[in-house]
Amino acid sequence: MEELDLTSPTAEGRSVLHGRYELGRVLGQGTFAKVYVARNLRTGKNVAMKVVDKEKVIKVGMTEQVKREISVMKRVTHPNIVELHEVMATKSKIYFAMELVRGGELFSKIAQSGRLREDAARSYFRQLISAVDFCHSRGVFHRDLKPENLLLDDAGNLKVADFGLSAFADHVRADGLLHTTCGTPAYVAPEVIGKKGYDGAKADLWSCGVILYVLLAGSLPFQDDNIVTMYRKIHRGDFRCPPWFSTDARRLVTKLLDPNPSTRITVANLIETPWFKKNPIPKPILSEPPSSQTKKEGEEPERMNAFHLISLSEGFDLSPLFASGETLREEGIRFATKGPASEIVSRLEELAARAPGKLRVTKSSAAGVRLEGEERGRKGRLAVAAEIFAVAPSVLVVDVKKDGGDTLEYLRFCCNDLRPALKDIL
């Protein structure tokens, strides 16, 4: 397939990524990637399109880091985490269509204005803890939390980014601990430096404590030109809170920057502290549902172009190249069938009627359906969306994904109900 030359405009003066994304100005450029503003031609919404040179990534041995970041971002969807919309690939490039976050880094805000008022710091810190706790509930540990990796959107909402150093719960060794020393020195927990193993969740909370200190003080708690001396201060928990810290803020920072991980405060206890609970907590700003735009009743399945096929193909998809086997489980079921679309929709409707707990059926079009549970689960009502695309006059591709609710509940539904119901056409 012909590669896209991102530097060459079309006849209309625009660069278009295989008919799906119109590329705009460059937002940033690094050794292995460029990031563009891009517009989804189907929805009209802007995204950040990160274009990675696959050959350079492989050459310097960063494949695992890219794989890890993709796998993590597919697993964690949260209002305070930068969203990965889709990942596409050709033989030489990887394309990340990501949420466009325009407000810059939290670090820049601190650098410009110095320390923040406690109410402003509390607002950002609550959002940070919400995102970090969600990651931990999904078995993901960030391991490089710092203001430079916290972005702000147009409304001032915090978004956690850069999961390149993160780890999964199944990366722990037989002792139940992680052992890779990583992170940014001023924000890293003492047990990570100690190289005897560490709990990823507790190490992340230490970093959150450093971030809270920086928000309130405008400076780092552990500073020294000599990194060895700085590490000694970190191991001892040797820091002082400025006099303008409130009593409750001082207590919370001290509990977070406890050098003993076994006595360091947990998220469950943190959210009950007076400082964290002070003033009403605003309702979370929810991201828009990832479902496709509504089509008119009776409309034919959307036609797939070549780039759709590349992103779904076993030969070109990132799943076998850059992701673990669980990515397929996380993304649901994708299969080709000779249709017709109405038969697939009817099959899903029959499944919904007899599924345990019952599912309510909503048609997004004549060739699309959404199933939503009537009972609330651990993470809300389970919702499953099925999109049907026409590849050829007699061939359809059906893409079934989680559209809401708890992932474990969704995976059980796929294994116990959905796959058996569709086994003859999968």
3-state secondary structure of 162: coil
Going by C-alpha positions, the residue among 395, 367, 397 that lies closest to residue 299 is 367
DSSP class per residue in 215-255:
HHHSS-SS--SSHHHHHHHHHHT-----TTS-HHHHHHHHH
What is the rounded distance in angstroms from the CA atom of residue 139 to the CA atom of residue 60? Answer: 28
Radius of gyration of the CA atoms of the chain, in A: 23
Q: Which residues pair with 178 in a beta bridge?
A: 198
What is the rounded distance in angstroms from the CA atom of residue 307 to the CA atom of residue 395? Answer: 17
Catalytic residue among 5, 53, 144, 417: 144
What is the rounded distance in angstroms from the CA atom of residue 190 to the CA atom of residue 82? Answer: 28
- The strand pair at 380-392 and 302-303 is best described as parallel
What is the rounded distance in angstroms from the CA atom of residue 360 to the CA atom of residue 368? Answer: 14
User: H-helix or E-strand containing 115?
Assistant: none
What is the rounded distance in angstroms from the CA atom of residue 220 to the CA atom of residue 222? Answer: 6
Phi then psi dihedrals of residue 109, to 5 deg: -65, -40
50 marked as binding residue: yes
Beta strands (DSSP E) in 320-379 are 333-337, 359-365, 368-377
144 is annotated as an active-site residue:
yes
Tokens representing 227 are: 């990194």
Q: Are the CB atoms for 419 and 328 separated by under 8 Å?
A: no
The sheet carrying 93-99 orders its strands as 15-17, 21-29, 33-40, 46-53, 93-99, 84-89
3-state secondary structure of 256: helix
User: H-helix or E-strand containing 139?
Assistant: none
Binding site per annotation, positions for ATP: 50
Q: Active-site positions?
A: 144
